[in-house]
Amino acid sequence: MGMEKPPKRLVHLEQYLTTIGKKSALYSSATALGGAGVFLLLTAVLLSWSSLHAAIAEIPRFLLSLLNAAVAASGCAAVWAAFRVFYRAREIEPVAPITKYNADQLPVSETLVRASARPLNEQETELLRPVTHQQETPPDQLLRANHVEG
């Protein structure tokens, strides 16, 4: 039983680019945090291994153990943060840009321009339809250019 992908919501290009940018930034951050966490954990392993040997004999064992614990805790925190950021990026809703190929999939409530109500065969004979209602605008509300002749 595989996980079904949720349908992508259609959005305008600017929102699509913003969403994709946010997702890629979060995934990049998760990768960087995970890499830093693994590096710190490997450093902690190396410190604990070298503390068993006499290579760092001039550092007191207590301070070396404290440093090792701090590096290991930092590594665990970075890996934990990487998983949190990764799952936050996965929770972002999948989107797709509106194109001329998928614009017909938009819900009617989100469609701004609709097709003409006339049947297609009548449209071929008539290029423009007259306005069915006329609204009279008072002349004092019209903007007129003043021509100054000189």
Tell me the angle at which helices 61-90 and 13-52 cross, rounded to the nearest 10 degrees: 160
Instruction: Give pLDDT tens digits along the chain (150 positions).
Output: 556 776 788 888 899 999 999 999 999 999 999 999 999 999 998 888 776 665 556 777 777 788 889 999 999 999 999 999 999 999 999 898 888 888 777 777 666 655 555 555 655 565 555 556 666 666 666 555 555 555
| Domain boundaries along the sequence of the chain | 14-94
- Measure Cα distances from 148 to 9, 83, 108, 145 in Å: 55, 72, 50, 10
